A and B are shown apart, each in its own frame.
Chain A
């Protein structure tokens, strides 16, 4: 029969010779292998203390962005919600009132913005859909909560810290995104 692939391997069905029947040499060989493994470098990463280095395009939890003056970028256009294949994003728009210019960058903003992290598949399409650079995927991952409803992240959970009031937390939340932006 003609082989379909070149990975065909013939099984050796010859009866075992004496050396193989003794069985001890095979065991000794196996034990040498396991013993050698004791001194190999362990690939384990001690997770909470040590974290794996992510690639620059890693997609973790979403963050709602602010501009340099701390105003929310989001205009509640709904493009992210439309783009979302898991339908995890919900929002309600509201009009900016006079005197709120320091809070919202444009005339319209999201009064309610929720992402269900149990539905989210972290595909990053919301980030691609956003025309205002208002949402992006951070390097935070593996969220832990006690109840399912707590996984529906509200706007307060998603917003990035204020860049002027809390500059250090802002920088941390930004992660290597600052580097990413300067690259393109």
Chain B
């Protein structure tokens, strides 16, 4: 009996994992099209429009093209790490989707199925652990390439992620003081019954947002792949789908960090001014998923919007911003939050 239930749980989680991974890949795929379309529209162009109506098949065409390209593994590279790099970047990018609650729960044949792969009570720490691992994918690939430009790109990526993770972590402490939990599911439940965390932590959200840009290596902090300085960046020696994996991992990271931001500060799958308990659970879950997807799409659009507006930072400006502005600001935010909580005696 015990085994039977376990198997059912296993099956349920397996299906959920497959759906989430597929959805993540699909959304990241179409984020590439979205990026090109947004870029085009902001530059008064039309963007890709040949593959399918309105360019809807462009990501497929890009993918097929990358698969058919010649795959070059340089002679002077260490091959094992060279192959490992993009795989690791992709793996860590997808892994972080495990603890995000995509919806409340659905009822299938009288059984409650929560729409989260793993509701671990240290959820948010897991995200940061996995995201930090992501830099290894970049480091491995660049180191194995045995190319100085790749290495400079990877060094920038590593130092940038380490610098901004500090401010990110401290911002998170302030948020955790407000919510009192590390579990993302718990946080969404709190925001559903109360206010969204953005109301309590506006400065915190802003710092988090800036750091998320840096963590995703997105413009204005895309120094690791500054083409005009590094002739390409950390993936300089890569070709074919291995390059595709690196580029793709960036979009997955963007999707995941959008999801994390929506969950932490914007109520996750919560629809404002709607009492979900009045709806039947399946419809409520569906509405919740749609709401979360809208929030994520808005964030992804924001990422792209910033990319096509703000020019790249210089390296010293990046470090100045990280250590001299964001870190003190995050500390200030943490202290003020703590003081207010203490004062209110919550």
A-side residues, CB < 8 A to B, are 27, 30-31, 33-35, 37-38, 40, 42-44, 46
Point out the residues of chain B lying under 8 angstroms from A27, CB to CB: 306, 309-310
Contact B309 A31 (CB under 8 A): yes
Partner of B46, one of A31, A33, A35, A42: A42
Give 23 CB contacts A-B under 8 Å. Answer: A27-B306, A27-B310, A30-B309, A30-B310, A31-B306, A31-B309, A33-B309, A34-B42, A34-B305, A34-B309, A35-B42, A35-B305, A37-B41, A37-B43, A37-B44, A38-B42, A40-B44, A42-B44, A42-B45, A43-B44, A44-B44, A46-B46, A46-B49
Q: Does B200 contact A (CB under 8 A)?
A: no
Q: Does B308 contact A (CB under 8 A)?
A: yes
Point out the residues of chain A lying under 8 angstroms from B38, CB to CB: 38
* Chain B contact surface mostly: loop
B-side residues, CB < 8 A to A, are 38, 41-46, 49, 305-306, 308-310
Point out the residues of chain A lying under 8 angstroms from B306, CB to CB: 27, 31
Contact A44 B309 (CB under 8 A): no
Q: Which of A35, A38, A44 has the most CB of B within 10 A?
A: A38
The total of interchain contacts (Cβ-Cβ below 8 angstroms) comes to 33
How many Å from the CB of B74 to the closest CB on chain A?
A: 34
- The answer for the CA separation of A34 and B38 in the assembled complex, in Å, is 10
Point out the residues of chain B lying under 8 angstroms from A40, CB to CB: 44
Point out the residues of chain A lying under 8 angstroms from B305, CB to CB: 31, 34-35
- Which residue of A is nearest B37, CB measured? A38
Beyond contacts A34-B42, A37-B41, A37-B42: 5 other A-B pairs, Cβ-Cβ < 8 A, are A27-B309, A35-B305, A40-B44, A46-B46, A46-B49
Point out the residues of chain B lying under 8 angstroms from A38, CB to CB: 38, 41-42
How many Å from the CB of B209 to the closest CB on chain A?
A: 12
- Which residue of B is nearest A36, CB measured? B42
- Which residue of B is nearest A44, CB measured? B46
Point out the residues of chain B lying under 8 angstroms from A35, CB to CB: 42, 305
- Which residue of A is nearest B43, CB measured? A37
- The answer for the CA separation of A37 and B306 in the assembled complex, in Å, is 14
- The answer for the CA separation of A27 and B49 in the assembled complex, in Å, is 30
Point out the residues of chain B lying under 8 angstroms from A43, CB to CB: 44
How many Å from the CB of B130 to the closest CB on chain A?
A: 30
